Every structure is written in C-alpha cells, then in structure tokens.
Amino acid sequence: MRAWTDISNIKQIIADSSAEEITAAYIEAIGKSKINGFISVWDEAIKVAREIDSNGHQGPLAGVPIAIKDNISTKGLSTTCSSKVLQGYVPPYDAHVIERLKEAGAVILGKTNMDEFAMGTSTESSCYGPTLNPWDLDRVPGGSSGGSAAVVAAGEAPVSLGSDTGGSVRCPAAYCGVVGLKPSYGCISRYGLISYANSLEQIGPLATNVADIARIMDVVAGYDHRDSTSINRENTYSDALKDDVKGMTIGVPDEYFGEGIHKDVEKSVWDAISKFEDMGATYEKVSMPHTKYALASYYIIAMSEASSNLARFDGTRFGHRVDGEDWHVMASKTRAEGFGIEVKRRVLLGTYALSAGYHDKYYLKALKVRTLVKQDFDKALANVDVLMAPTMPAPAFKIGEKIEDPLSLYLSDVNTVPMNLAGVPSISVPCGFAGGMPVGLHIIGKHFDENAIIKAAYSFEQNTDHHNRRPPEVA
C-alpha cells in the first residue's frame, strides 16, 4: 500500500487501472488491520468508485479514498462520535466538507475511531476500544483524531479528515508521524460537525505529505452560509507548494520549550530549525508570556461549551435510550449509561464553571485570558513570518499510562491549545524521532495565512526525508 499513499500516485494508478481497484485494495487493508483505526466501512464505497470509473474520473480527487472522523456527519453512514449514547444514529444529511469531497470525486471509505465526543488526547475513551499506534502497538496514537492519523500512517487510507479543538489533529499527526493541519477558525465550515466546543474547533486534514494537505484544503475550505462562523475568503492552498524559504523569519517562543519537554523532542525541533537556517531562513527568540495560563483557560472554556452542547443527548430524539417513568428519569439513565467517564467528567466541570456564583470567577476570567493569549500571538507574529515549536512535549505514551490520571493527560496539550484559543492556523510535520517514536515540528502562522505555514512545511519536507519514514509493517 505504501506506493499508493500519495494522491498523485493514486490518481496515476486510477488512470492506468480503476478507482474500483484502488478502493477495493484499501478496504482489504482495513480488513486485515491490527490498529482498530476504522469503526465502520461504507458499504457503498465500491459502488461509488465504480460510478467514478464509468464517468471518466471527473473531479480533482476523482477516485481518491478518504477516511472521515466519526464526529463528521455522513448521510446514510452511522456517525456516533465513538459514544454509546449515539450508537445507531445515521445522519439524514452530509456535512459541508463531505458534500465538497463527493463533488470532487473522492470516495468515502468509512469512519475512524476517536476519543468519545472528541474529548481526549489518546483515543482511549472510545466506546469501541482504543486505537493503536502503528509505530508501536503498545502506545497511543494521540487524540482525539487518533483513528484518522493512525489509518493514514498504517497505509489504510491515503488521506483523512479529523477535527481539532485543542490539538486533536496535530497531536495524533505528531504521534503517528504524519502531517496534520489545523486551519484558521472560520476557514472550513463546521456545518455537520457534531460540536464539542464551538468556539475552538475546526475540521482539518491529515496526510503523509504536505502537498496532499494542500490538495484537500483546496476542496474542503471555503465559505458556507449555513455556518455563521464561516469566513468568505478565497484561497488556493496548492499555490503555496514552493520550495523557497529564503528570507523567511522564524519566531521561536521560549515558553514552548519549558518544563516537561523530552530532550530528544527538543533536539529534533532545534535540528529542524537549523535546517531552515541552511535553507536561507533566519530565526529569533520571541516571548509569549501568557502561554502558562492558556491550558487552564482552554479547559474551562471547552468544558463549559461541552456542558451546553451535550445537553441535547437525552434519549428523546436520536441515539441510545434507557426508558424511565418520566423524561427526567429517562434522560438521567440514558446519560449515565450512554456517556463514558471522561465525557461525564468534562460536562460536570463545565456545568460547575457556568453555575451561578462561579460564572464570573471561572468562565469569564478564562475568556479574558483567551484575549491575552490571542494578543501574544498578534505581537509575536507582527515581526516574524511563522512560529516554530514542538507539537507535543514528548513522544507517544503507553496505552493505559495516563488514562487514570486526567490532569497528566490534559497537560499533554500544553503546546497545542493556545492556537485554538487564538484561532490561528498551525501544522505539524514529522521532524525526527525520540525513542523510536515520531516527533512533530509545529509551524504556526498568522490568521488566514495558511499558505505561509504550508510553504514552510513543504520546503522542510523537500529537504529532509522524515515524511518518507513509515512504521515497519507498512514500509
């Protein structure tokens, strides 16, 4: 499958043979998988591929298989957010991104595993069991889009979509040695994305290389009147695929190299920055003093929004239901049985933060800190083109290592949540290894300047071979 993990290669093979053959091969690979990355395979995929063949391969992604995170609505294909409370739910409509992918000729392979309702950093809170990291089956793939990253790394899909609320695309991209992009807030329509925290999350692509990220963005990004947060801004992301960083100025925030960073992760990132210097870029240190408050601010805001969003899951309209003598008993029993422990924890904490007497003390103060974090990015990016830092402070940890220690798990997000608070774009690209596990380089840009970080990531890729490394079973 490795030769087929690039969109250009796939399109050439389709031209020489058929989209049906490509789709069948990926479905066969999924059937042999050991990583539990897919939770469902679309039974219409072969039929759709056959139709694409008969129509002459129309569209920029004609015949290209793609995996979809299980919190993105797909008409006729179950969408459960990896939660028992939504088991059996089949959406009657497609998300905006799914509409665009289908119009471009892509073939939806199926839905990928995730942390329940996107709440987690390890894909261990799924009701379908954990996804395994293809580099080491004893380790987590990251989360919450762990399934979407793992299936790309394992060669079970060439590209995938995830969602990123506080690092949920970039974390698993770093842990699994693939490329993951969190676009600017408002860049991609959230219509059809089942919400965890509305003001923070964005849909983002994962792939084995930066060029494929740009190709997917060309299709899925853009304005949608059904999403009030969608920005009407035209852009061609593939225009940024240029190997040229001469004159680029890189900002390196000291705060992202603080306590807890693994020495091999730090070395890999600094080696990457040195490579940019060899390519003609320069770097300077920058300060982002409110970074130390970002994690606390993020979790208060995210959990508060989650407590509101998840109130709709009560057994009345869709999904799992436990009968009771009245609505209150039914809703209580349904949620007690349907939600996992991590979802319950976050809903409870969010409800507390919004409660009378505590709203100003916690939620309002978190919003004020969010403004300060955003101002840090505005100031830091005023005099540099991009920022660079480690995506994650350490490589992927063992399955079960942190699941019983929520605080330790939350601290893993320290380098990724500030970008969601500020709404700025960022991309993770492979830049080395720590203890045999992949390390991600985090490249952060100005609002709606995805092209700058895509160009930087693409240039780095063209001058290194980290992105060509694959897990032993895939190579």
Residue 69 falls in the annotated catalytic set: yes
Which among 125, 148, 163, 168 is annotated as catalytic?
Answer: 168
Q: What is the DSSP string of 296-355?
A: HHHHHHHHHHHHHHGGG-SSSSSS-----SSHHHHHHHHHHHHS-HHHHHHHHHHHHHHS
| Helix and strand numbers, DSSP H then E, in the chain | 15, 11
Which among 18, 40, 83, 144 is annotated as catalytic?
Answer: 144
Q: Are 403 and 379 in contact (CB under 8 A)?
A: no
Q: Which residues is 450 bridged to in the sheet?
A: none
Cα dihedral 96, 100, 105, 106 in deg (nearest 10)? -50
Residue 160 falls in the annotated catalytic set: no
Residue 17 falls in the annotated catalytic set: no
Q: What is the DSSP string of 214-266?
A: HHHHHHH-S--TT-TT-------GGGG-----TT-EEEEEGGGG-TT--HHHH
Which among 11, 18, 40, 69 is annotated as catalytic?
Answer: 69
Q: Are 201 and 104 in contact (CB under 8 A)?
A: no
Q: What element of type H or E holds 150?
A: helix 146-153
Distance CA 409, CA 148 (A): 20
Q: Which residues are catalytic?
A: 69, 144, 168
